[in-house]
Amino acid sequence: MRRSLRALQFNSSWHTSYKTYAGSRQYRSTSAPVTAIGALETIAKRNPALNAFASHITPAEIGSSETSDDPLKDWPIAVKANIATTLPSATSCASRALDTYTSPYQASVVDSLEGAGAVVVGKTNMDEFGMGSKNMFSMYGAAINPHTPSSGAKRKDMAESDHRTPGGSSGGSAAAVAAGMCRAALGSDTGGSVRLPAAWCGVVGFKPTFGRISRHGLVAYGSSLDTIGIIARNVADVQTVFSVAAAPDPLDMTCMSSPLRARIKALADSRS
């Protein structure tokens, strides 16, 4: 009986709105950087220990949002190393096979986020080609969970037995968000590669419905299962990024078209 009452008490939270969670003291962001400069300062302090970023920009490379009402104005965003960007750093998939590859184009979702004012501050560590769940199998070395007790020390000075994995394969993205090195991050999820590391790092990971976010520019792992997902410190930030990222894209034939999105919305509205 006692166990049943506990389960009932816990399950009642399933019906709590995301806005309630996002606004609560427990779930709201308390140390997410407000600006790209703030993110780079935190990266300089924490990334040597955590190895969450494979590469990052310099303050001189920070652009500026053109309008003050852009929904993601000056948000520092991190991008997993298997998502194409035109940054000088490689879109390497954490593999030596691609360690010098720079993409001639950007993923559509990256263009969308930058168009809404976001600043891509760097590329994050991952399991090589997404094939792992601990972010250990990477040409950059293992990423470290920010909740590792000794994570303030330099990684080379930490005993390997002290390392706590951030999960994978988007471990660098989750660790970067959890450590306050970015406001939100993009990852890829085939069978849990956004949700697992988000859970292990104590942040929010979202795998959208297949076709909601364009995969143009994502290095595929399992094309019928892959999605680009979002990691942030709270649900409200995930929803804000998703509202920009979830756009039709003619460059991805599996991305939902505008008419299909309209039909789905009309059906949902008719049932509400």
Whether 169 sits among the annotated catalytic residues: the reply is yes
Range list of H helices, the chain? 2-11, 18-23, 36-50, 108-115, 171-178, 195-201, 235-245, 258-271
Residue 121 vs residues 6, 216, 240: alpha-carbon distances, Å: 43, 20, 18
Among residues 169, 170, 173, 188, the one annotated as catalytic is: 169
Give, as one character, the DSSP assignment of residue 154: -
Whether 80 sits among the annotated catalytic residues: the reply is yes
- The dihedrals phi and psi of 197, each to the nearest 5 degrees, come to -65, -30
- The dihedrals phi and psi of 250, each to the nearest 5 degrees, come to -65, -15
Among residues 29, 65, 80, 123, the one annotated as catalytic is: 80
- The dihedrals phi and psi of 264, each to the nearest 5 degrees, come to -65, -40
Among residues 95, 133, 151, 193, the one annotated as catalytic is: 193
Active site residues: 80, 169, 193
